[in-house]
Every structure is written in C-alpha cells, then in structure tokens.
Amino acid sequence: MRPTDQTIALSNPDGAQLGTIQKAGLAILAAGLFAALIALGVRENSQPWLFFIVSFGLVTVGTLIFIINTFLSQPPGVKNNGIWFKPISSRKNAAYLLGIIITVFYIVLYWFPGYLENWIRMCDPLSQLLRSKPADQWFLYGTFYTISIVIMGLRAILKYRHSPYQIIRTSSIIFFQLGFAYLIPALLQFLNQPEFYFSYFWPLKYNYLFPNDIHSLLSQPGGLGVFMVFWTAVMSLIATPILTYFFGKRWYCSWVCGCGGLANTAGDSFRQLSDKSLRAWKIERRTVYSVLVLIVLITALLWINSFSGGTVFGSLSTGLAKSYGFFIGAIFSGVIGVGFYPIMGTRVWCRFGCPMAAYLGILQKYFSRFRITTNGGQCISCGNCSTYCEMGIDVRWYAQRGQNIVRASCVGCGMCSTVCPRGVLNLENGPMHGRMENGPIQLSEKGPYIPS
Ligand code: SF4
Ligand code: SF4
C-alpha cells in the first residue's frame, strides 16, 4: 500500500505517489527529451531519421506508458488528486520554469528559427514524405503541435472515459488537427497546390478574407483555388452563424479548432488556473471585442483600398494588417496564448484575444439555442464546476440559483458538467425563448423558492 493511501482526507496534501511503471514511463520520456537536446546540438547531422525516431519515439512511448498506467490503474471518474499541490499545476517555481521554456521556444520559433535548424532538419525525411519538400520551422511546429494533441488527446480520453461527451469531443479534436490541420495541408503542398487549412476561418485565420489572399487563390490554375475562396467565405459568413445557432460556439471552439484542441488536451492539467474574478471578466470583454473590431476594420480597409487601386489608404491598411499579424497573430496567440498555460490557464488566447471566439460569443449569447441548464436543488456548492471552467466562469454562482448559463465566453467544453458530482449541469440545445430565465426550483428550509 502506498503511504498516502492511509489517509482518509478528501483532499490529500501529499498527492499520489508514483508507481514503478509510471517512473519507468517518465524515465523513457526524459531519455527522449535528452536525445532531442543532443540532436539540437549535433553538427552535420547525417542521421536525421535516427534522431527523429529516437527522440520523438521515446517521448511518445514514455508518455503513453505513464498515461495508460496512471489512468487505467484506477476506476473511471474524474481524478484530480493533488492538482493544487503539484508544483507544476499550482503556479509554483516549476510552473514558471515551464512557462519560460515554452515562451522562449515560441520566441525562437517565430523570430530566430536558425537556432532550431537541427530540429528542422530532423523533420526533413517526414516532410519529404508528406509534402515532397524540405521541412521549415512551421512544419516542425505543426508536427510538435499535432503529436501533442494526439498523445494528450489519448490521455484526455482515458481520464474522462466515463463521459461519452468528452470521448467523442476529444476524438473530434484529434481528427480535425491530424486530418484538416496537418495531413491535408501537407498533401496540398505535395500536389503543388496552395497550403490551405480547411478547419480555420476568418476572423481567426484573418488573412483568408484579405483581398491579396483571395486574388492569389482565384488566380490558381484549376478549380481548387476557387473552391478554397468559396469554402472560406461560406464557412466564415454563413455556416458559422447557422452552426452556432443550433449548437452554440462549442461546435468550433471545443470540437474543431486547434487552439482549443491544444488547450483541452496538452493543457488539461492547467485548466483550473483561469482567473474567475469579476475583474478578469471585465478585462476579457474589453480585449476580446477590441480585437474583433480591429480585424473587421482592417479587413474592410484592405478591401476599400483594393477597390480604389490603393489610392484611398496607400500603405496604411497593409501596415495595419502587418502590425496585427505581429502583435495579435504572433505575440498574443502564440507566445502568450500557449507560453502562459502554466500560469494563467489554457484559454488565455481564446478568452482574451481570439476574434473568432468573440464573433461566436456574440452569436451564442443572442442567436443560439445553446445553454447550460442547472438543477439548483441538487447543488452542494462544492465548486468543482467553477474550479475547472477553463473560461473563468463562476459556474457555481449560476448553479446555486438554478439559473441557466448563457455566457458569450462559454466554449461548451462540458467539463463543468463532467466534474460535477451531483449531475447538476446539462449542456442543451433548446428553444431560444426563455433560455435566459432562472430555473424554477431552489430548495431552502422554508420550502421551494421561486426566483422572480
Ligand atoms: S461553463 Fe462549463 S462548458 Fe462552459 S466553458 Fe466553462 S466548463 Fe466549459
Ligand atoms: S460541481 Fe455541481 S454540485 Fe458542485 S458547485 Fe458545481 S453545480 Fe454545484
């Protein structure tokens, strides 16, 4: 018996002790990371495949051994044992160190890719196989990103295997990342077609509705470029409102998008770090809608300039688009959005910066059938729902009042419902009428209470 099994405390300050198989998994993972570090420093690497297989292979195998043993050795059901006591998931020094490592990686990736040259060359054989051309920093990044989502997606499936919603949702995330955001763009390049991501739409992939990109796609020989323009316009402007009307923003933010996908898989251990304060909610509303207004404005200016032959705004609109790409597209969504996972939680970008989330949020709040219903009489105020809401929503506040949750920021991940021990919360699509009203039942010593 492990020493910590002897306590009957609900909250065990020591957390779980590692077993032999888990330690073996971590040792293999560490060996893979060590091999990757060596590969980074090797000059004239003549065996890129070997380094690729050894480093990626050991990391993958070690992580899988650890994950499978950790989650299959205990019965189904959410176990977040010791999450507030582990330094890595409770903003201790290890979390800051990890945050710095990820942030530095992003800075090097975006602006100093030369330092990653050996890792990029290590991906050459795979890139040749998939795209018929040598790797670059974005192929390296896409490979890291996709492997992270696949492996950590398997972890999420095992961890939440008692919940069909979480299993199907996580499988969808893996499918869209692997297929639509990695293999299909690679295949397009293999066939000498423009690189295109069918799972990203304007305003998240902001340049997809910029005049230059549209003109360039339309000038492609064959009909594929025309189809891409048609796809991006229809998905951004027609399908998005329709799907959001029926399903809320979850159809995109929690089932398709790679940013949300990474947050819900690789970032699962950090979701409890989101700030639940009213102040954070206020900041969130200001920043996320400002970014949306900015990108709508820039897109409009670019089109006006394009129609006028560049006489109206000159280089101003292009300069604005470039600045947006640097500050929002690179610094905010990449460096801060992922680098700050261990400190601010996993949806920093989705919550404070993503214009797609803002656009979907407005639709969800005012033109959607989606809501989370709460059976207030069952709530024991444990607070699990609020703790694990990655979007910083104080779910318990609504549950205690038996009030439906109709919040623009809710991404419909369903985790509040999954971790609720009393089955209080339900993600539902129903008639729009009356969805913002309070539920009828709240029990008190004086009998049922009907909120006005
Ligand atoms: S309220 Fe629930 S479904 Fe919505 S984002 Fe928070 S945890 Fe996910
Ligand atoms: S997790 Fe369930 S029981 Fe606990 S506070 Fe939230 S709604 Fe209430």
Q: What is the pLDDT of residue 14?
A: 57
Query: Measured in angstroms, how far is the CA atom of residue 289 from the centroid of ligand 2?
Result: 30
pLDDT tens digits for range 386-412: 999 999 999 999 999 999 999 999 999
- Contact between 385 and 400 under an 8 Å Cβ cutoff? The reply is no
Question: Contact at 8 Å (CB) between 403 and 438?
Answer: yes
CB 395, CB 425: distance < 8 Å = yes
> Looking at ligand 1, which residue's alpha carbon is closest to its atom 7?
389
Residue type for 27, please?
A: A
pLDDT band at residue 12 under the 50/70/90 scheme:
low
Which amino acid, 248? G
- Once rounded to an integer, what is the mean pLDDT over residues 221-248? 96
Contacts of 353 (CB under 8 A, 6+ apart): 287, 288, 291, 328, 332, 333, 336, 337
Kindly tell me if the per-residue pLDDT of 449 is higher than 80: no
Which ligand is nearest the CA of 416, by number?
1
Percent of the chain with pLDDT strictly greater than 70: 93
Pocket of ligand 2 (CB under 6 A): 379-385, 395-396, 399, 420-422, 424-425
pLDDT in tens, 151-192: 999 999 999 999 999 999 999 999 999 999 999 999 999 999
Q: Which ligand is nearest to the CA of 399?
A: 2
* Between 54 and 44, residue with greater pLDDT: 54
Give the Cα separation of 380 and 373 in Å (integer): 16
Atom of ligand 1 nearest to the CA of 415: 7
**193, pLDDT greater than 80:** yes
For 108-153, the pLDDT digits (tens) are 999 999 999 999 999 999 999 999 999 999 999 999 999 999 999 9
Question: Is the pLDDT confidence value at 54 over 90?
Answer: yes
Nearest-ligand number for the alpha carbon of 405:
1
In short, whether 83's Cβ falls inside 6 Å of ligand 1 is no
CA of 422 to the centre of ligand 2 (A): 7
* pLDDT recorded at residue 9: 54
Spacing, Cα 395 to ligand 1 middle (Å): 8
Query: Is the pLDDT assigned to residue 249 strictly greater than 70?
Result: yes
Write the CB contacts of 435 (distance below 8 Å, at least 6 apart in sequence): 369, 371, 404, 406
How does the average pLDDT of the chain come out, rounded?
A: 91
* Protein residue whose Cα sits closest to atom 5 of ligand 1: 410
pTM assigned to the model? 0.91
Q: What's the CA-to-centroid distance between 374 and ligand 2, angstroms?
A: 9
Residue 246: its H or E element: helix 240-247
Q: Best substitution site from 270, 274, 275, 415 to test ligand 1's pocket, by max atoms within 8 Å of Cβ?
A: 415
396, 418, 427: residue to mutate for ligand 2 pocket, most atoms within 8 A of CB? 396
Say yes or no to pLDDT of 437 above 80: no
| Phi and psi angles of residue 427, each rounded to the nearest 5 degrees, phi first | -85, 120
Number of H helices and E strands in the chain, helices first, is 22, 4
**CB neighbour list of residue 164: distance below 8 Å, 6 or more residues apart:** none
With contact defined as beta carbons under 8 Å apart, do 124 and 135 qualify? yes
pLDDT digits (tens, 9 = 90+) for 301-355: 999 999 988 777 777 888 899 999 999 989 999 899 999 999 999 999 999 999 9
On whether the CB atoms of residues 429 and 369 are closer than 8 A, the answer is yes
DSSP 333: I
What pLDDT is stored for residue 3 in this prediction? 47
pLDDT at residue 317 in the model: 81
pLDDT confidence of residue 17 = 79
Rounded-to-integer distance, Cα 231 and Cα 225, Å: 10
Q: Cα of 201 to ligand 1 centre, how many Å?
A: 23
The answer to whether residues 425 and 359 touch, using CB atoms and an 8 Å cutoff, is: no
Q: CA 402 to CA 398: how far, in whole Å?
A: 6
